[in-house]
Structure 1
Amino acid sequence: MPRGSASKPLVVAAVSVAAVVALGGSGLLSPWWSQFVDDLGQFCAGVAATLACWLTAPRHTGAQRRWRLWMGAGTAGWTIGQSIWSWSQLFRDVALPSPSLADAGYLTLPVFALPAIISLAAARPPSGAPRRRPGQLVMVLDGLIVVGALFVLTWATTLGSVVEAGAPTPFAFAVAIAYPVTDLVLTVLIILLLTVSAPAGRGQLTLLGAGLLCLSLSDSAFAYLVSKGADSMPPLADAGFIAGQALVAVAALVRPQTGVPPAPRRHARWMHLMLPYVPVAFTGVLFIAQLVRGTRVDGVEIAVETAVISLLIIRQAVTLVENAVLLDRVSESQARLTHQAFHDALTGLSNRVLFHDRLEHALALHHRDGRPLAVLFCDLDDFKAVNDRFGHHTGDRLLRQVAERLRAAVRDSDTVARVGGDEFAILLEGTGDPGEPAERIMAEVGRPFQIDGHSVGVGVSIGLVQAGEHGPVISADAMLRRADAAMYAGKRRGKGTLVRYRVDLPDGTGSSDLAEALAATLRDGSGLDVHYQPIVRFDDETVVAVEALARWTHPSLGPVSADIFIATAESIGLIRLVDDFVLDRACRDAAAFRGPWASIAVHVNTSAARLGRPEHEETVRAAVRRHGLAPHRLLLELTETAPLPDLGAAAGAVSRLGRFGVRFALDDFGTGYNALAQLHAMPVDEVKLDRSFTRADGGRSEAICRSIVQICTGMGVTVVAEGIETEGQAATMAALGCRYGQGHRYGASGPLAEVAPPGVLGPGDRAVVAG
């Protein structure tokens, strides 16, 4: 039989019941044989139910076994009672023997059916299925309330008169009333279980409920016939006894379903909530109708109704208590979830979300009242080595101890947060030098940690930023970025450092603030300028060219190092705008040179990576034409901060612009990527020897310089020595065959109006330059 399938046993049971009822009520048999067939059918149904329960019980365990054993005991007692009943009817010629010894057997069924139903309802759901159970006390109270209310309704309408008519003695009254009461209890219990819970044996419980309902219907028919003085029950009235036992047998034969039971639907939950109130409301309507009609209310009805109302009050009190307990649990859960949402699970510190919120609040106070605040961004040094050597468990314990030391190093009002794996952030509010707690943190974290008998040592790098120290801080994210940039600048210097944030952090670190300020400057051109440095001939120190150099002065930050802002422009993809600005300004200024500088060249730096792009070539031609500069007076210095993406394309661009008249130089020669390969591939006019060679003393540097000069001379390429600061350096380079030099020995870079000698710029030109 497929698991959970009840179709075949139901068909067999239905056919058997129909056959017995049809044969017994067909009129083809005599009354005695008709009663015999009816009683035999009931007896066989009871035997079938008992055997089905007891024979299938050993195949199961737990609740599925228990409920079969309990139900088998109940059906066995009922079958014994049916045997006594049949003997009295068939062989002692007693019409409807009541009360009798048979009642003791019949009433064992509800006694054992109750624990059977409870066991089946308690069956554990399949793995992974939610267990949905209401409060057991509330469910019991609901059942008693419903049973009591239904009893009042049935007693006031039919049951009272029926019982009184057939119960001349107290014992007979007790037996008569036992059937409807037990039937009501079992039926209501099953309805409650099916409504408010989802037992694993839901299908079996439904079959049991249907069987007990059939039995109660026949019990009701029997009570009615007794009250009317009938001398027999027709087979159709006994059909409930046969069908009820048959359904019990089917429930025992069916295996429980293994799937997850469906969740109760919304209407089912509402039905559960309203279940105890609906029958109570009907009893109220009944009482009102009895009062209006002047009908006498007997003692049983009053006693039961009083008990029902008392139970209803108790249920409400229990519900209020359970709701209060539930609200407390919900409040505790919400508090726990709130704490988990804003705190780090490992260290108990604030997490990034809470830190960000408090930083935003502190910034709001800073903007409104000028309240000081600072942020420390801490990153542990060599933490990965601890994990690799001792394992992640030790690493976690180390993080917890670090968190304790961080909290001890700052005030209680300061916020300490874990914002990453081994990264911590600290919000310092109020006056005082934030460098002092930073130094304490470095000292505390620098002390060895004792973990599982091991001495574990780590350091900490800290980035410090104060609000308002380098321009306004717009948001908490900007503040954290500044602190993070300062920390990483310290990491580049070495471990265990404290770095205060600056916009022009060393080592080309830069920051997003610098990038934003530079982008704004390049959009409107404010703050950018071009300075010039002369290039001279060694033998007579005559200026033969000037190099145009980009300079940037921010309104609030002041002058920014060229190395820093050039690197930033390259990182954000705006170096093209810097190059084009310097190119245009240099062409304009060179075209205005007069006197001794009337024919000198102007050197302009351009990124080698832009070579080969058509738009770059057109930009160069347009600048030369726009200002009327002779093309041969423009010399583009190719700077290399990254390898050339396409050396062939770059060489082609040099050749095309060379035919136009523009000349080229390789800047910082000897330090770039594949310098000799570029010298060979690209038809450049000059090579600018890097200052690292011209400043160095000793035979190796001189040998390198001599070789470069000889190579370039043989190729017809002019060599310019950079970084010349002393007369000795100039003499050495001249002796090695280099004819030109550039450096502070011949003048530092500066604005054109300060660098150009008299006669180079006319009054109008100086005004243009100054503007």
Structure 2
Amino acid sequence: MPVPSPNRPGLPVPSPNRPARLGLWLAGVVLLVEAGWLVAGLPQAALASDLGAVVVAGWAAVACLGAARRHPPSLRRFWWLLAATMVLSGVGRSIWTVQRLIGDTLPHTPLIGAIFTAGIVTGTAALFLPRSAPRTGLGRARTLLDGVIVGLALIPIGWIVVYGDIAEADLAYPLRILGLAYPVLDLMQLTILVAVAGPGRPMWRPLPWIGVSLAVRGMADALYVWLVTQGSYAPGHPIDLCWPLSYLLIGAATRHPPPPDDDGADEATEPPLSARWRVALPYLPVGGAIVAVVLSRRSTGQTPEVIFYGMMALLGALALRQGLAANEILRLVGRLRRLAYRDQLTGLPNRLLFNKRLRQALRRESPVAVLLLDLDGFKQVNDRFGHAAGDTLLTNIAARMRAAVDADATVARLGGDEFAVLLDGDRSTPPELLAERLLVALRPSVGEEEAGVHPSASIGIAEYGPQHASHTDLLRDADIAMYAAKAAGKSAYRTCTSTLRESAVSRAELIAELRRAVDENQLCLEFQPIVDLATGTVGSAEALVRWRHPRLGMLPPARFLPLAEETGLILPIDRWVIHEACRAAAAWRGRAPQATVAVNIAAAHLHRSDLIATVTDATARAGLAPGALTLELTESALIEGSEVVLDRLRQLRELGIRIAIDDFGTGYSSLSYLHRIPATELKIDRSFVTRLGEDDRAYATVEMVTRLAGAFDLAVVAEGVETERQHTAVAAIGCAHGQGYRYGRPGELPDLRGRTGVGSPA
């Protein structure tokens, strides 16, 4: 089955065809015939051995060229170099055969040595081309040195264990040199292969085949020289099978497909960190080399030249390797410092570096100011357009801030959508002027404003003064000023003052006390009547929470509910209100069986999966019929509701719970969401009702909403009815129910009268 191309998705990469598979089988047959010939000791065994090696090497070269055509460009050089290695092996073996037939039994000539050495060079170069190999010059040099160190460490070990007789053997000088050189180079290649085989990533399947090929060839080279020194080698020896076997293994490696695309991999970076054993790999044989030197010195009383020069080379390679390691450590330390002190998305200094520079500026006792900037509505950008758009926006904002600040200050990203600017030293730009420049720079263009992908920003300014004991105090004041800017309408800046600071302290104390209010039973409910305008009957009431503060007295909802919503305390408060309102309503219905109670719940509760359980538990505990409870939700909270929220509201309606849209007309009123939300009533916002009799447009708005509600079969409650004129107007328009001081102020539920004097103020 065709393999999808990693570099051109959708296009198949041809798998090895039938001729290629046939070639592998034929090469295997050649090797088996050669093995049988050599083991049986048939005539011309040496020639059979040479021809078999040349044939298999030639086939392996062709197979590597075929693999190069099937693989992506990034891996073609790998197979080309392996093909060149096989060609050099075949050429070298052919020249060996010719010279041996002419009369030299073991023709170790410089030409043949140079050809085989060139094959080792091309093979080593190929090992640096897989995707898991190092991608930098430093990484390649380090890996090459690892192989050289392991190979050089083999010299004293091999001299003691295997090659001790080379010096005494009657061998030509090139053979004596190559007798050590070839196994050393083989081990060097094998070490490099192990280092690049894929640390931290799946191993590419051809690499193990090539690793076995190198191991077989290294074993063959070592045994060959040992047999020659013992005088027991003759051409056609069974050891000759190892070289064509190593070629066959390389040819077999070509049958594997290219590796899959490494998504997100950067070809210019280093692969993942290696395992500890890979890091220690080049140093493990060094201990064996030292032991070999000691044993050689003890047995002969002197150190052979080859061991001496080998150890000198080994020490030089080790020194160079340690130099590279030190360089790499310094580079990594620099990179870690950049990672530790820089924001990876924008490239700006991060919170850690900003705080460090702020502390340094404070120690210099120079004028210091901090501007803290927070984006208004950034969460909506992420929710609407996705986090990728949010990241792009943050990068754009960082660039605008850097350009606006120029060299006057330091810009940092503290995290999320929060930025900071540090002004220190003898600055020429006042912080207020810099804040204005930032607001202008961050102002969205026409296209960005229309698309809704560029939020505004609020900036808080704090200048160092005697009230700041540390940099955290200065940042705290900037944060206080920033929230004051948000409260002032956003897209603005504020400077921290003693008044703001005292207000923030009071706010923090109030939040801390609010956390204890529920547990210590400091909350209480008052109920405002909702009147049937046709009969004047009080048929319902809205539960309003109050806080009996032990120090500040009775606090209205506007004083503490915004804090509760900001801190998440609104959830336990809402749960308490629902339970208490249901309990009071159940008692009230004992005297007025048709009475209902309405409860406001926060938008945060709509997104909680336990909302239904909270409501059903409250009604069940109180013994209240679900139809007697109305949940009031603001228009803005409902319009932002997801399908999950709408399903939750539908489940509540199926249970009998009534749903009221509070403050209708002040949000994003649209017919489409009235179709989707399972509401039972609309509450016209007091801002329209209070203008009745004074503003014809307000009258038209209330009349339109009333007709709209009738079309959707929704009940209507006019909120904020305080005067007789307003009462007359809403009654004339046709509103079924009214609520406001005209009919009664909030109080205890038992105190609500059975009827309200419609004709005169209550």
Give the corresponding residue for 1:182. 178
Give the corresponding residue for 1:122. 125
1:579-634 deviation per Cα after TM superposition (whole angstroms, max 9, x unaligned)? 66578899999x9xxxxxxx99xx99632899995843863889xxxxxxxxxxxx
Q: 1:606 aligns to what SS in structure 2?
A: strand
Identity %: 19
Contact 2:38–2:236 (CA<8 Å) still a contact in 1?
no
Give the corresponding residue for 1:425. 419
Relative to structure 2, which stretch is displaced further, 724-733 or 52-61?
Answer: 724-733
Displacement, 1:17? Answer: 0.8
Give the corresponding residue for 2:33. 12
Q: Which of 64, 80, 83 is the aligned partner of 2:98?
A: 80
Q: Which of 245, 248, 262 is the aligned partner of 2:243?
A: 248
Q: Which of 623, 633, 644 is the aligned partner of 1:641?
A: 633
Q: Which of 207, 221, 228 is the aligned partner of 1:219?
A: 228
Tell me: CA distance 1:497–1:252, structure 2 relative to 1, closer, same or farther (3 Å).
same
Q: 2:118 aligns to what SS in structure 1?
A: helix
Give the corresponding residue for 2:70. none
Alpha-carbon distance in structure 1 between the residues aligned to 2:493 and 2:252:
69
Relative to structure 2, which stretch is displaced further, 403-412 or 610-619?
Answer: 610-619
Tell me: CA distance 1:521–1:159, structure 2 relative to 1, closer, same or farther (3 Å).
closer
Structure-to-structure mapping, 1:441-452, within 5 angstroms: 441-446=438-443
Contact 2:528–2:544 (CA<8 Å) still a contact in 1?
yes
Contact 2:665–2:684 (CA<8 Å) still a contact in 1?
no
Give the corresponding residue for 2:115. 112
Q: Which of 393, 402, 414 is the aligned partner of 1:404?
A: 402
1:89-119 deviation per Cα after TM superposition (whole angstroms, max 9, x unaligned)? xxxxxxxxxxxx6665667544432222333
Tell me: CA distance 1:553–1:329, structure 2 relative to 1, closer, same or farther (3 Å).
farther
Displacement, 1:404? Answer: 0.4
Alpha-carbon distance in structure 2 between the residues aligned to 1:501 and 1:586:
47
Alpha-carbon distance in structure 1 between the residues aligned to 2:402 and 2:326:
35
| Aligned residue type for 2:50 | G
Tell me: CA distance 1:437–1:580, structure 2 relative to 1, closer, same or farther (3 Å).
farther
Give the corresponding residue for 1:275. 285
Give the corresponding residue for 2:675. none
Q: 1:574 aligns to what SS in structure 2?
A: helix
Contact 1:463–1:498 (CA<8 Å) still a contact in 2?
yes
Alpha-carbon distance in structure 1 between the residues aligned to 2:455 and 2:278:
63
Displacement, 1:180? Answer: 3.6
Are 1:315 and 2:314 an aligned pair? yes
Give the corresponding residue for 1:765. none
Tell me: CA distance 1:410–1:556, structure 2 relative to 1, closer, same or farther (3 Å).
farther
Alpha-carbon distance in structure 2 between the residues aligned to 1:401 and 1:215:
67
Contact 1:144–1:185 (CA<8 Å) still a contact in 2?
no
Structure-to-structure mapping, 1:13-162, within 5 angstroms: 13-20=34-41, 37=43, 40-53=44-57, 57=61, 60-61=64-65, 62-85=80-103, 109-124=112-127, 127-130=130-133, 135-136=143-144, 139-140=147-148, 143=151, 146-147=154-155, 150-151=158-159, 158-162=165-169
Give the corresponding residue for 1:607. 599
Displacement, 1:514? Answer: 8.1
Displacement, 1:556? Answer: 8.2
1:277-320 deviation per Cα after TM superposition (whole angstroms, max 9, x unaligned)? 535533432332345xxxxx7xxxx6x43x63354245324423
Contact 1:50–1:72 (CA<8 Å) still a contact in 2?
yes
Tell me: CA distance 1:17–1:486, structure 2 relative to 1, closer, same or farther (3 Å).
farther
Q: 2:325 aligns to what SS in structure 1?
A: helix
1:143-165 deviation per Cα after TM superposition (whole angstroms, max 9, x unaligned)? 4564467557878x6455554xx
Give the corresponding residue for 2:190. 194
Q: 1:115 aligns to what SS in structure 2?
A: helix
TM-score by length of 1: 0.55
Are 1:562 and 2:530 an aligned pair? no
1:429-486 deviation per Cα after TM superposition (whole angstroms, max 9, x unaligned)? 99999877644532443498999xxxx997733165989x9xxxx9999999999977
Alpha-carbon distance in structure 2 between the residues aligned to 1:279 and 1:648:
84
Structure-to-structure mapping, 1:626-705, within 5 angstroms: 640-641=632-633, 692-693=688-689, 695-697=691-693
Alpha-carbon distance in structure 1 between the residues aligned to 2:723 and 2:691:
9
Displacement, 1:417? Answer: 0.8
Give the corresponding residue for 2:573. 574
Q: 2:373 aligns to what SS in structure 1?
A: strand
Displacement, 1:19? Answer: 1.7
Displacement, 1:47? Answer: 4.1
Q: 2:633 aligns to what SS in structure 1?
A: coil
Are 1:328 and 2:296 an aligned pair? no
Displacement, 1:407? Answer: 4.5
Q: 2:458 aligns to what SS in structure 1?
A: strand
1:527-550 deviation per Cα after TM superposition (whole angstroms, max 9, x unaligned)? 657599999x9xxxxx9x999854
| Aligned residue type for 1:376 | L
| Aligned residue type for 1:377 | D
Give the corresponding residue for 1:257. 253
1:394-425 deviation per Cα after TM superposition (whole angstroms, max 9, x unaligned)? 9687434323046559854xx631644xx333
Q: Which of 193, 205, 229 is the aligned partner of 2:214?
A: 205
Contact 1:121–1:205 (CA<8 Å) still a contact in 2?
no
Displacement, 1:349? Answer: 1.6
Give the corresponding residue for 2:295. 285
Alpha-carbon distance in structure 2 between the residues aligned to 1:405 and 1:119:
52
Tell me: CA distance 1:723–1:59, structure 2 relative to 1, closer, same or farther (3 Å).
closer
| Aligned residue type for 2:228 | D
Alpha-carbon distance in structure 2 between the residues aligned to 1:437 and 1:213:
76
Q: 1:197 aligns to what SS in structure 2?
A: helix
Displacement, 1:16? Answer: 0.8
| Aligned residue type for 1:12 | V
Displacement, 1:249? Answer: 3.8
Give the corresponding residue for 1:526. 522
| Aligned residue type for 2:343 | D
Displacement, 1:521? Answer: 1.4
Displacement, 1:18? Answer: 1.6
Alpha-carbon distance in structure 1 between the residues aligned to 2:377 and 2:654:
47
Displacement, 1:15? Answer: 1.1
Q: 2:418 aligns to what SS in structure 1?
A: strand
Give the corresponding residue for 1:348. 347
Alpha-carbon distance in structure 1 between the residues aligned to 2:552 and 2:29:
90
Larger-gyration structure (1/2): 1
| Aligned residue type for 1:112 | I
Tell me: CA distance 1:515–1:693, structure 2 relative to 1, closer, same or farther (3 Å).
same
